[in-house]
Every structure is written in structure tokens, then in C-alpha cells.
Structure 1
Amino acid sequence: MPLPFLTADRAFDTASDDVALPFEDHDQWRRPYRPGPWRVGAAALVLLLASFMLLAALITAFAGALPGALGCLGAAVVMIAGALRLLRMGAWVSRHGVRRVRLFRTVTVAWGQTSAVRTVQQPVRLLGLPRTVQGQALVVVRRGGEQLALLTDHNADFLARVEAFDRAADAVEAWSEEYAR
């Protein structure tokens, strides 16, 4: 079974340095990096818990308590949807702009509305928690001066993966150079 979210990202790993945008279809939204092990591990744990909830719903349904079974089934469906959303979180790029996907909110900025995409040193959240540490962030500066942090080197995709953060930041900056005119 093909996994398009993994195969699409391999193009960035196998592309030579002279090809900044290795995809043929630039209209499709793509994540220019693979999901990190922290993000995949958290989603796997949530899916494991959801499987236990589905089993509990099945046992409860066979025991004859239909309202309890429906409650377990509903909770499992919410957990599965949350795990899928967790895997979709991150920065996505296309010819139309850059998109930051979070758990409950998505922000899209057209390339024409950006004035710069750059990597800066600043305090960043460690795994999205309230604690901040000194690190790097890839920020999009909008025309009005507002900054939008796309990636940090301490989030669930890049914690302890400095080379992957650098490659992802370079890829987003290449998309910006190509389309932000």
C-alpha cells in the first residue's frame, strides 16, 4: 500500500542540490520534510489507545449496553481523528503559498503577501509545551511586518534532528524564492 505522505517527502532527500523544487506538480500542497519521530510516536500511542477503545466498544455492545458501546465508539473516533490531525501538523508549501497546520487551526499565507522567509535565533517552545529554550525558527514575515513561525528546531518534527531542520528550512526558502515575487 503506497503511503503518499512518505513517498512525496523522499523527493527532497534524493534530489540533487541544484534542484530546489523536486516536485513536478507545484499546485499540490506538500510538506517539504518527513514527520518527526516524536510526532509519529505520539500518533501511534493515540491510535493504540483508540484500538483499545474500539475493543471496549465491541465488548460493551456484546454485553448489551448499547449506550456505553456508542460512547466508547464515539471516543475512539475522536481519538483517531485527533491522531490523523496530529500527523498532518506542520508546514506545507505549494505554488499558492505556505500553510501552517496546527491541531485546531490552519493559517495560510499567499506568497504575494510575504516579504521574507528566514531562519532566526529566538526562544522557541520545546515540543509545543509552555517551556521555552533558545533555538532556531523559520519565520514568514508578512508585508505588514507580522511574523508567523512555521518551524522550530525543538518541535515534534525536528527535536535532535538539526540536519533535517536545515533541509526543511532551505526547502521552504527555495519555494519562497521561486514564488514570492
Structure 2
Amino acid sequence: MPLPFLTADRDLDFDNPAAETTPLPHDEPDHWRRPYRPGPWRVGAAAVLLLLASFVLFSAMIIALAGSLPGAVACVAVGAVVLALAVRLLRVGLWVSSSGLRQVGLLSTTTEPWSAVASVRTAQQPVRWLGLPRTVQGQALIVHRVEGEPLRILVTDRNGDFLSRPEAFDRAADVLEAWAAEYRS
């Protein structure tokens, strides 16, 4: 049973073509929302990191019971860092609200008000495959600023969210372009 209120990746009304490009239907446009759900590659990588964190924290408990408190503290610190990295990995992507566009990276976050966004468009260009140095031909969602350089590209059809889901990339790009068109003016 689908729960459309939990994700942005819901069934679209194909009888109404305008429904594909309308912004997300929700009551509170002031809250930051990601207009697509995390993809299987991103969720899988975060799950592996969470599993690693659980092993490290379990080893910290064993080390603490064995009587080596400094070693246990070091293991807890490493486990906390891995846990924070897994949670941050799940938050990577573009987030929107009525106040602007937020680009969340693994180590940094950039927020642009809609008045500073000149355009949001999709372009064919070489993109990084799963964020690795290897590039392949693909589509990228490019956010141009009114002044300055475009935002760093985080959303491509070859990243961890859309690698095996091209239709999800198209929907997410349409929704992001619709948000930009509605709130930029």
C-alpha cells in the first residue's frame, strides 16, 4: 500500500498533464522538503555505514567490559563519526521550501533564496557516476544564480538517487523546475 504523504515519489495523475509539473501538495510550504526520495544506492551505502557503526559500538562495549576505558572511548568516538556520516549521507541532495533552495552536500550546505536563483534547468553533459571520479554522459540539474557561478551539481541521473530510476529523475527535475517557476516570481 503506497503512502504518498510520506514521500515525494508518488503515483502521478496521468489524466491531468499539469499534475506532473505542479509543486508538491502539502500544507506547509515553509518547511524544507526534498522533492524526491533517496535512491537505492544512497540508502544501501547508508545501511552499510550503519552496520559498520553498530559493529564499532558493539566492540566498544566489549572493550569497556574488558577494562580498557580509553580504547572504549576511542571506539565510541569512531562509531559516532560513522553514524553521523551515515545520517548525513541520507540528507545529501536538493531541498526546497517557499523561502529558497538548499543544496546539502556531505560536508557543506548552501542555501539560496528564490530571488537569487536565475533558472533551474536540465542539461546533457558529462556527469560523475555515483559521485566517483569516472564521468559518463548523462543529465544534470543545473541551478543558475542571478549573480555568480552556478551551484555545484548534486542531482544527476547517474548519482546515488537516480542511477537505475530515470523516470524518477525526470519527475524530480520537473518538480524542482516548477518550484523555481512558482517562487522565483
TM-score, scaled to structure 1: 0.92
Partner SS, residue 162 of structure 2: coil
1:19-78 per-residue CA deviation (whole Å, 9 max, x = no partner) reads: 412122100000000100000000000000110011100100010001001111110011
1:8 aligns with 2:6: yes
What pairs with 1:1-181 in structure 2 (closer than 5 Å)?
7-10=5-8, 12-14=9-11, 16=13, 17-19=17-19, 20-21=22-23, 22-144=25-147, 146-148=149-151, 149-181=153-185
Judge conservation of contact 1:27–1:94 (CA < 8 Å) in 2. yes
1:9 alignment partner AA: T
Q: Between 15-24 and 27-36, report the one with greater CA deviation.
A: 15-24
Q: How much has 1:145 moved relative to structure 2? A: 5.4
1:82 alignment partner AA: L
Aligned partners of 1:145, 1:137: CA distance in 2, in Å?
19
Judge conservation of contact 1:96–1:110 (CA < 8 Å) in 2. yes
Aligned partners of 2:174, 2:30: CA distance in 1, in Å?
19
1:3 corresponds to: none
CA RMSD of aligned residues (A): 1.7
Count of residue correspondences? 176
Q: Which runs of 4+ in 1 moved over 2 A?
A: 14-19
1:116-162 per-residue CA deviation (whole Å, 9 max, x = no partner) reads: 11000111111111111111001111112522224101111000210
Is there any run of 5+ residues in structure 2 with no aligned partner, and where? none
Q: How much has 1:15 moved relative to structure 2? A: 5.2
Judge conservation of contact 1:140–1:150 (CA < 8 Å) in 2. no
Q: How much has 1:18 moved relative to structure 2? A: 3.6
Q: How much has 1:13 moved relative to structure 2? A: 1.1
Is there any run of 5+ residues in structure 1 with no aligned partner, and where? 1-5
